[in-house]
Copies of this chain bind each other. A is one copy, B any other.
Amino acid sequence: MAFPRPKPTTMETLAMERANPSFNVRKMSVAMHGSERALILKEKFMAEIARHPAFKLSDIHDLSKDELRERTMEKFASMVYFVTNESIETFQLRMQLIGIADPSFWTRFGVAYGLFLGALRSGATPNQLSYWIDKGVLGLNGVIGCFAMTELAHGSNVAGLETTATFDRGSDEFIIHTPHLGATKWWIGGAASTATHAAVFAQMIIDGKKHGVKTFVTQLRDTKTFTLMPGVNIGDIGKKMGRDGIDNGYIQFTYVRVPRAHMLMKHTQVSRDGVVTDPPLAQLAYGALLGGRTSMVTDSSNSAKKALTVAVRYAAVRRQFASGKNQLETQILDYPIHQRRLMPLVAQAIAIGFTGLRLTAMYEDMTQTLDAMEPSDPNLNDILDKLKETHATSAGLKAFSTWACLDTIDKCRQSCGGHGYSAYSNFPLMYADFAVQCTWEGDNTILSLQAGRSLVGAWGGAVKGKKLAPGVAYLNDSSLISAKSDSSLSLADIQRAWNCVAYNVIKKAAEEYVALLKSGKSKDEAMETCSQSRFIAAKIHTTGYIFRLFKEAVEEMQDNEESKTLRMIAKLYGLWQIEEQQGYFLKYGYYNAQQMDKVQASVDALCAEARAVAIPLIDSFALSDHIINSPLGRWDGSVYESYFAQVQAANPLPKEHPYFTRLIKPLLERTNEDMEDPGTAMGLEDELREIAEERKGE
Contacts and interface: CB of A to CB of B under 8 A. Distances in A.
Interface in A623-670: 640-641, 643-644, 647-648, 650-651, 653, 657-660, 663-670
A43 interface: no
Interface stretch (A298-306, A390-398, A564-572, A581-589): A581-589
Interface stretch (A273-281, A430-438, A456-464): A430-438
Given A321-B156, A535-B337, A660-B226, A414 B439 contact: yes
Given A126-B696, A522-B324, A668 B142 contact: yes
A84 B684 contact: yes
A4 B179 CA distance: 8
A692 B658 contact: no
A77 B659 CA distance: 14
A1 B677 CA distance: 54
A294 B608 CA distance: 36
B587 A582 contact: yes
A494 B431 CA distance: 37
Contacts of A261: none
Contacts of A438: 414
Contacts of A194: 664
B582 A593 contact: no
Contact of A160 (B138, B321, B413): B321
B155 A418 contact: yes
A239 interface: yes
A203 interface: no
B86 A238 contact: no
Query: Could you say how many copies of this chain the assembly holds?
Result: 2
Interface residues of A, number: 173
Contact of A524 (B223, B323, B449, B687): B323
A423 B239 contact: yes
A61 B588 CA distance: 49
Nearest to A580: B583
Interface in A335-360: 335-337, 340-341
Nearest to A440: B418
A688 interface: yes
A414 B156 CA distance: 13
A144 interface: yes
Interface in A83-100: 83-88, 90-91
B235 A657 contact: no
Given A157-B329, A182-B6, A337 B254 contact: no
A51 interface: no
A692 B321 contact: no
20 contacts: A61-B239, A62-B239, A77-B666, A84-B683, A85-B679, A85-B683, A86-B683, A126-B692, A130-B692, A141-B669, A144-B664, A153-B640, A154-B320, A160-B329, A241-B421, A337-B531, A414-B438, A414-B443, A414-B444, A583-B585
